[in-house]
Structure 1
Amino acid sequence: MSEQYDIEFVSKEVNISKSKLRYYEKHGLIKNIERDDQNNRIYNEKNIELIKLIACLRRLNVPISKIKQNIDVNNFNEESLEGILQEHKRVLREKVDEYTDYINEIDDKLERQLTSN
């Protein structure tokens, strides 16, 4: 029999709130969570690894819908995970370029402001 963990342990282990764990379960990101006699959630190692992956992807701002889509389709094989990360990296680079443009515009305005005074 594999190790079993309660929600308190998983919350601390993965460093996310218990409410976030419940939210992920409610939205179908974490499935088939067992329950004990008191109806408390019981997690196993596989659940924890999936939760760690979900938490990592969320820190990268990967949308929940994108994570769920991949969980539903193929439960994250290496190829799909690489594709998600590559796509997200592309989006982040676009945002960096966009913010760089904003910063340059501000710098230009500041420079004009300083030279006009």
Structure 2
Amino acid sequence: MTITEVSEKLDISQDTLRYYERIGLIPPVNRNKNGIRDYTEEDCKWVEFIKCMRSAGLPIEVLIEYVALFQQGDETIEARKELFIEQRKQLITRIEDMKKTLERLDYKIAVYEQAIVKKEKELRRPEH
């Protein structure tokens, strides 16, 4: 698959794909005889994985470390697991923080809705 096809299929910019490869966030992509990137299904799975992890807020540095560990083979399985356990803990904390923010936003919206209703009632009240 070309970089254009992968970009469209996975909804990720070509620049981002090149960047991810350049910094080691995804393993190097094979190139055809003309030097054009030729993504395999396995490459696409890596891109999907990284995209998912990034959307959850995992730092690029952590993911680079993960890819490096993965490329070292099975002797790093425990280290990879520990890396993900730590990231999971941090994600849970961020989710809890976001829930609190959402509750606060819901409260503020309700307050403003009540203020709008009150103001509309005052405007409709006939003058004496």
TM-score normalised according to structure 1 size: 0.69
User: What percent of counterpart residues are identical?
Assistant: 22
| Structure 1 spans left out of the alignment, 5+ residues | 111-117
Relative to total residues, which structure has the larger helix share, 1 or 2? Answer: 2
Question: What SS does the corresponding residue of 2:12 show, helix, strand or coil?
Answer: coil
Q: Which amino acid aligns with 2:40?
A: N
Partner in structure 2 of residue 16 of structure 1: 12
CA contact (8 A) 2:27 2:67 kept: no
Picking from 2, 5, 22, the partner of 1:6 is: 2
Structure 2: distance between partners of 1:49 and 1:81: 20
* Residues 81-102 of structure 1 deviation map (CA, whole Å, 9 limit, x = unaligned): 8523343222332344367568
User: How many corresponding residue pairs?
Assistant: 111
Q: Which has the higher contact order (CA 8 A, sep 6+)?
A: 1
State the partner residue of 1:64. Answer: 60
Once residues 49 and 18 of structure 1 are traced to their aligned partners in structure 2, the CA distance between those partners, rounded to angstroms, is 16
**Cα gap change, 1:47 to 1:81, in 2 (>3 Å):** farther
Please identify runs of 4+ aligned residues in structure 1 that moved more than 4 A: 75-78, 98-104
Q: Report the equivalent of 2:29.
A: 33
Question: How far apart, CA to CA, are the structure 2 residues paired with 1:81 and 1:8?
Answer: 32
Computing the radius of gyration from Cα coordinates, the structure with the larger value is: 2
Q: Which AA in structure 1 matches 2:9?
A: E
Could you tell me the TM-score, scaled by structure 2's length? 0.64
- Please provide the CA RMSD for this pair: 3.1
1:51 aligns with 2:47: yes
Kept in 2, the 8 Å contact 1:70–1:80? The answer is no
